[in-house]
Structure 1
Amino acid sequence: MRRFHLHLVSDATGETCITIARAAAAQFQGVDAVEHLWSLVRTESQLRRVLAHVEAEPGVVMFTLVDPQLRALLHEECRRIDVPCIPLLDTVIAALSGFLGIESRNQPGRQHVMDAAYLKRIEAMNFALGHDDGRSSATLGEADIVLVGVSRTSKTPTCFYLANRGLKAANVPVVPACPLPPELGGLTDALVVGLTCHPEQLIDVRRSRMRMIGDIGETGYVDPLQVEEEVRQARRLFAESGWPVIDVTRRSIEETAAAILQLHDRRA
């Protein structure tokens, strides 16, 4: 495994840097990027402290600074110590500026303003928290999306990912011999999606969860025959209800959420 230092410099939270850098680094097999996140860098003194660390542990610098003086200083110093310096947003901003015919504001953190969209995301987060694992079923009708599935099919983290996109997402577990909330059958506006998973992966995930909480006993929760029957019954439920189904086997949370968002957009 080849390791290298990756310095991410931002005048805001650094989320954009992290996302782009990880997406790029993931394309290289056998490479381990040691990330150094330098966020809220807005003064020359702050930037010089970052540069001292870059010089001590040279690698690749990626940045999303908008202040022209800080950008010039970063480029100059990186050239001096002979490390690559990559502006992540320049091409996009230049293309937008050319298309729109106006200059960019060059204002740090513009994407994090507390506007209506931000407040909507907060509301969605609170909704996901209050409607996790079948709770608050009386207000299930307020959801934009409801995820249904057996235990450990990533329902909760997927709901919070969707909430970060401003969608009210609830999740309902399918538990053997336990009836689903009656409100689920009466939903008309919400998109209901069934999540399923290959039994073998489900058992691995459940065993891992049990080890985390200190439970190492053998139970029906990880019994192969019972898990297979759980998955089979859940799939039968989804088919009878006419709900779209997403197999989360070997899918990341982001990939599952992307598939759900496509279903939601087509339904809108």
Structure 2
Amino acid sequence: MTRLHLHLLSDSTGETLEMIAKAALAQFEGADVDRHFWPMVRSHQHLDRIMGEITRNPGLVLFTLANMEIRERLEAKCRDAGLATVSALDEVTRRLSSLLGQEAHARPGRQHRMDEAYFARVEAIQFTIAHDDGLMWEEWEEADIVLAGVSRTSKTPTSIYLANRGFRTANIPIVVESPPPRTLFGLKKPLVVGLTTSPDRLIQIRRNRLLSLNQAPETDYVDHDRVEKELKFARRMFADNGWPVIDVTRRSIEETAAAVINLVNERQSGLSKGNTGPKPV
């Protein structure tokens, strides 16, 4: 299979392009794509510097550039190099302009204004990274969400996704031989959510993880009886503390995070008052 080089050029952070590229590439199973990110391209000099890298790795150039001079310079240079270019927002912007009856304002990164929500999201990401895998448990009361589950139940990637949505998220591995700190059972502010999965799926994920690390794939870590014991231990803990439970067996990270956010919203609106047991989702 031929490798495709995909160049993403933006006059801002490149988040919009990254999401568009991710959504589009998801339609092509097994595609061998090497993505190159070029954010904050706001001058001719900057563009000229990165064009050398682009021509050395020719491929599709996807861009969002508000400055017409820089955009035209990019398109001209790509034409000369025989490279295809796509402006990611042109068609949407044209349609909106027609329907709204007004011209679009060409302001770089306008969709990412440095408002309070932006800074809250940055702070949430920093908090979440610092409180991954049971770290800094003394500060869990400051979290919005605490995810609990045995090893390889997608706690960390789900936490990062939630942080990108502005939720300060901590996570803790549930280990039979090493009970979590007592702080976990007395939290008031954060919503504690238990993550669980099927034994067979968990064993498959763990075995793949061991293989990726060049470790023996047959250990207690993937023993069926031991894995079942771990999951039962975790589920009992969730039930004893009345924490809602999400089964991640057939859920993507995005779907799991959406289920967590729904639980947060229910809690905030008071819909979940009176529940005494774990709530499977």
Does TM-score exceed 0.5, indicating one fold? yes
Give me the whole-angstrom Cα distance separating, in 2, the residues matched to 1:267 and 1:90.
41
Give me the whole-angstrom Cα distance separating, in 1, the residues matched to 2:108 and 2:39.
11
User: Compared with structure 1, are the counterparts of its residues 215 and 10 closer, same or farther at alpha carbon in structure 2 (3 Å cutoff)?
Assistant: same
Normalised TM-score (structure 1): 0.79
User: Compared with structure 1, are the counterparts of its residues 24 and 166 closer, same or farther at alpha carbon in structure 2 (3 Å cutoff)?
Assistant: same
Q: What are the equivalent positions in structure 2 for 1:219-238 lying under 5 Å apart?
A: 220-238=220-238
Q: Deviations over 1:27-70 (max 9, x none)?
A: 12353223333333222344345556555654322111110122
Q: Deviations over 1:153-186 (max 9, x none)?
A: 2223322332232211112222215444444334
Give me the whole-angstrom Cα distance separating, in 1, the residues matched to 2:250 and 2:257.
13
Among the aligned pairs, what percent are the same residue? 51
SS, match of residue 226 in structure 1: helix
Q: What are the equivalent positions in structure 2 for 1:1-268 lying under 5 Å apart?
A: 1-51=1-51, 58-78=58-78, 83-94=83-94, 103-207=103-207, 216=216, 220-249=220-249, 251-268=251-268
Amino acid at match of 2:14: G
SS, match of residue 258 in structure 2: helix
User: Compared with structure 1, are the counterparts of its residues 29 and 158 closer, same or farther at alpha carbon in structure 2 (3 Å cutoff)?
Assistant: closer
Give me the whole-angstrom Cα distance separating, in 1, the residues matched to 2:165 and 2:171.
16
Structure 1 contact 134–172 (Cα < 8 Å) conserved = yes
Normalised TM-score (structure 2): 0.76
Give me the whole-angstrom Cα distance separating, in 1, the residues matched to 2:218 and 2:5.
44
- In structure 2, the gaps of 5 or more residues are 269-281
TM superposition shift of 1:207: 4.6
Amino acid at match of 2:7: H
Instruction: Name the stretch that deviates more: 153-162 or 247-256.
Output: 247-256
Give me the whole-angstrom Cα distance separating, in 2, the residues matched to 1:36 and 1:127.
28
Give me the whole-angstrom Cα distance separating, in 1, the residues matched to 2:251 and 2:184.
26
Aligned-CA RMSD value: 3.4
TM superposition shift of 1:211: 6.5
- In structure 1, the gaps of 5 or more residues are none
* Paired positions, count: 268
Amino acid at match of 1:132: D
Q: Deviations over 1:210-233 (max 9, x none)?
A: 567786596533322111111122
TM superposition shift of 1:79: 5.1
Give me the whole-angstrom Cα distance separating, in 2, the residues matched to 1:144 and 1:179.
22
User: Compared with structure 1, are the counterparts of its residues 9 and 178 closer, same or farther at alpha carbon in structure 2 (3 Å cutoff)?
Assistant: closer
